[in-house]
Chains A and B, each alone.
Chain A
Amino acid sequence: MHKRISSLARLGIFAAIGLVLIALSGFVDELRVYQGAEVAVYVVAIASITLLTGYSGQLSLGHGAIMAIGAYAATLAFNGWHIPWMAALAVGALAGAVAGYILGFAAARLSGPYLAGTTLALAVGIPSLANQFHVLGGEQGLTFDIGDVPTWASHSWLAKIGHGDFTTYKWFYWITVPIALATIWVVRNILTGPIGRRFKAMRSNPTAASLIGIRVSSTKVAAFTYSSSLAGLAGAMLAMILGLSAPLVFTLTLSFTLVTGAVLSGVSNLYGGIIGAMVLVAIPELSASVATHLGGSEKVTANLPGVVTSLLLILTVLILPNGARVRRSK
């Protein structure tokens, strides 16, 4: 496969990349910085799909709902217990993991289209719950305001690189980028370790996997739990950068978007997720500029991104049904 780099060395490389990315935030305008934070959120969300679909072979259309669970848990914990935002994000990941653990028991007994359809029902069902319970804030949702940028960050040497004020958007970027990099590092270690090998064995041939002593159903539950904890974390991050958790954020379209991002990056390609995330953020902006160039109406601006993403999805599946980089386990 690849040259062997120890995971500790990789951690060092990632930390260096992270520092460079953060330093770069001084040189671009606020919109780009915010988009950078969006990309970081999508990287985590796509990693959750990659782990589940790419490695354990289960397809979930309900990860938008898991993200909603993570987002609401983080928001409620942050507002209710007055804990630091970092702890709130952890609560989001934990809530996602619990949801995934429960869902995993059902999922372990379902295959292919049944799992897809069941998770689809979840994707529709969970966000609408916000309207049922007052504590969830109804259609308006709940605000998630992490407050001003702490002085240790805005007065640090890193903040002095480049120009411009230290805005909240920049702070979001500073928070989300290291989390995204850490996620990739952790997931990579999981997937190249014994757990990842178990996932791959189960995906390639469940019968053979069970014959060599892998307990298929508990492995499936484990895959769902890991994946959902990432989805919960991504949901909490999304709520943080948007400043709110609301049902309108966690639509069916979000769940589909995540699957699209994962497929575009090659479902079993962890690093590809970064490209997938960038495509997801870039498409709406690119198509908006194309739409205005065409002198387009609101119709075009609103629908072109969906058309482009869906076309990309169909073409990717038709041309590279097994993912952009096929890695067959031998």
Chain B
Amino acid sequence: MLHIWGIEMKTILETLLIGVSSGSIYSLMALALVLVWRSTRVVNFAQAGQAIISTYIGYESMKHLHSYWYSVLVAIVAGAILGAAVEAFVMRPLAKRVRGSAAADIAPVIATLGILGLIRGVAGLIWGNTFVQYTSPLSGKGYTFGSTTIQFSPQNAAIVIGAALVMAAFAIIFNFTKLGLALRASSFQPEISRLAGIRVDRIRVIGWACAGAAGAVAGALVTPTAYLSPNSLDLLLVSGFVAAVIGGLDSLVGAGIGGVVLGIGFAFILQYIGASVTFLAAFIILIFVLLVKPAGIMGKSGGRSA
């Protein structure tokens, strides 16, 4: 009896740890979506594509740098540049064109979908649709305690630590720097920020760049635990969106918590029900949160129309 109980406890603990690890990735993706949402009021469905390209660039750079950690840095820089480029060359011109028209809500969403498709296609043209491996020096084998090996590997630990560091960095930037103040001000009241001398357009580009960097971290950290292909991060987009909504699309802390909550939820569903219902569960969680507590767990109460 005790033995069975012991096995049960081990499974639960493992599921919990795996959930925190995958949840950290969802948090990063949610963070990326929240950063873009806060700076331009757009849900960036191209985020998965941007993360894919940055991860591929990291993968390529590793061939020359021979170091996974430097290649992650390259991926982050590439992600930031790509994010800035998307905002500056597509989203900003579009926003100026549709301002005040009936399509103002829908056109940006469709544009980000177009960018997602374009990026996936280009990645396929360059790297092909086959799986490639982007390996990290850390072991993918689980830690061993005495005679039992758990499913939580050093790479999983790196994911959790990396995500926590990125979160902390953004928390510091947002709350304690002038840039953070400008980011917060221009998302809160663009017109007044402009009057106060903040270059709102430039700040928005920075917001997109930060988001691109966060997405790149997610892609570069998660890929060594799986494979890399032009659409290997698509599902991450859905999880990231659900996590962001759970946390309240406006809240950085909420994105962090939402991601981990969702990760743990998914891990338990995967362990005890089956892989094929996870995304339906995500849909149900999403509907439930949006109908019961539309502002998310960290959101302020009040309306939530875009």
Q: Which residues of A contact B (CB under 8 A)?
A: 53, 57, 59, 61, 106, 109-114, 116-118, 120-122, 124-126, 128-132, 203-204, 252, 256, 259-260, 263, 267, 298-300, 302-307, 309-311, 313-314, 317-318, 321-323
- In chain B, residues 78-123, which have Cβ atoms closer than 8 Å to a Cβ of chain A? 90, 93-94, 97-98, 101-103, 105-107, 109-111, 113-118, 120-122
- B103-A116 in contact (CB<8A): no
Report the minimal beta-carbon distance from B109 to chain A, rounded to whole angstroms.
Answer: 5
- A310-B245 in contact (CB<8A): no
Most chain B CB atoms below 10 A, which of A120, A252, A263: A120
Most chain A CB atoms below 10 A, which of B114, B241, B287: B114
User: B199: CB under 8 A from chain A?
Assistant: no
Select B279's contact among A59, A128, A311, beta carbons within 8 Å: A128
Closest 4 CB pairs of A and B: A310-B117, A303-B124, A307-B121, A306-B121
- B291-A109 in contact (CB<8A): yes
Known A124-B235, A125-B280, A129-B280; judge A256-B125 contact (CB<8 A).
no
- A117-B241 in contact (CB<8A): yes
- A313-B238 in contact (CB<8A): no
User: B286: CB under 8 A from chain A?
Assistant: yes
Chain A residue numbers with a CB within 8 Å of B114 are: 260, 310-311, 313-314, 317
Select B129's contact among A131, A302, A313, beta carbons within 8 Å: A302
Chain B residue numbers with a CB within 8 Å of A126 are: 280
A252 to B48, CA, bound (A): 13
Chain A residue numbers with a CB within 8 Å of B111 are: 313-314, 317-318
Chain B residue numbers with a CB within 8 Å of A59 are: 105-106, 109-110
Known A106-B287, A302-B129; judge A111-B101 contact (CB<8 A).
no
- B276-A256 in contact (CB<8A): no
Most chain A CB atoms below 10 A, which of B102, B120, B124, B290: B102
Q: List 18 A-B contacts (CB under 8 A).
A: A111-B305, A112-B105, A116-B45, A117-B242, A120-B241, A121-B238, A121-B286, A131-B275, A203-B102, A303-B120, A304-B121, A306-B117, A310-B117, A313-B110, A313-B111, A317-B94, A317-B107, A321-B107
- In chain B, residues 166-220, which have Cβ atoms closer than 8 Å to a Cβ of chain A? none
Chain B residue numbers with a CB within 8 Å of A106 are: 287, 290-291
Report the minimal beta-carbon distance from A312 to chain B, rounded to whole angstroms.
Answer: 8
- Return the chain A residue nearest B120 by Cβ: A306
Interface residue count on the B side (C-beta < 8 Å): 58
Select B290's contact among A114, A313, A318, A323, beta carbons within 8 Å: A114
Chain B residue numbers with a CB within 8 Å of A309 are: 117
- In chain B, residues 248-306, which have Cβ atoms closer than 8 Å to a Cβ of chain A? 249, 274-283, 286-287, 290-291, 294, 304-306
Chain A residue numbers with a CB within 8 Å of B120 are: 303, 306, 310
A244 to B109, CA, bound (A): 32
- A117-B103 in contact (CB<8A): no
Q: Which residues of B contact A (CB under 8 A)?
A: 37, 42-43, 45, 90, 93-94, 97-98, 101-103, 105-107, 109-111, 113-118, 120-122, 124-125, 128-129, 230, 234-235, 237-238, 241-242, 245, 249, 274-283, 286-287, 290-291, 294, 304-306
- A129-B277 in contact (CB<8A): yes
- A57-B282 in contact (CB<8A): no
A309 to B119, CA, bound (A): 12
- A113-B124 in contact (CB<8A): no
Report the minimal beta-carbon distance from A261 to chain B, rounded to whole angstroms.
Answer: 12
Select B245's contact among A53, A114, A260, beta carbons within 8 Å: A114
Known A106-B291, A120-B45, A322-B103; judge A313-B276 contact (CB<8 A).
no
- B276-A116 in contact (CB<8A): no
- Return the chain A residue nearest B126 by Cβ: A299
Q: With A120-B237, A125-B279, A129-B277 given, can you name 8 additional A-B contacts, CB distance below 8 Å? A: A111-B105, A111-B304, A125-B282, A132-B277, A203-B102, A307-B117, A307-B122, A322-B98
- Return the chain B residue nearest A126 by Cβ: B280
Select A121's contact among B93, B241, B249, B305, beta carbons within 8 Å: B241
- Return the chain A residue nearest B237 by Cβ: A120
Chain B residue numbers with a CB within 8 Å of A109 are: 290-291, 294
- Return the chain B residue nearest A117 by Cβ: B241
A124 to B107, CA, bound (A): 22
- A132-B274 in contact (CB<8A): yes
Chain A residue numbers with a CB within 8 Å of B279 are: 121, 124-125, 128
Chain B residue numbers with a CB within 8 Å of A116 are: 43, 45, 109
Chain A residue numbers with a CB within 8 Å of B94 are: 317-318, 321
Known A113-B306, A124-B279; judge A256-B290 contact (CB<8 A).
no
Report the minimal beta-carbon distance from A246 to chain B, rounded to whole angstroms.
Answer: 14
- A304-B290 in contact (CB<8A): no
- Return the chain B residue nearest A313 by Cβ: B114
Report the minimal beta-carbon distance from B261 to chain A, rounded to whole angstroms.
Answer: 16
- Return the chain A residue nearest B277 by Cβ: A132
Chain B residue numbers with a CB within 8 Å of A114 are: 245, 290, 304, 306
Report the minimal beta-carbon distance from A173 to chain B, rounded to whole angstroms.
Answer: 29
Report the minimal beta-carbon distance from A301 to chain B, rounded to whole angstroms.
Answer: 10
Chain A residue numbers with a CB within 8 Å of B235 are: 124
Chain B residue numbers with a CB within 8 Å of A300 are: 125
- B291-A310 in contact (CB<8A): no
Chain B residue numbers with a CB within 8 Å of A61 are: 113
Chain A residue numbers with a CB within 8 Å of B98 are: 321-322
Chain B residue numbers with a CB within 8 Å of A263 are: 110
- Return the chain A residue nearest B123 by Cβ: A303
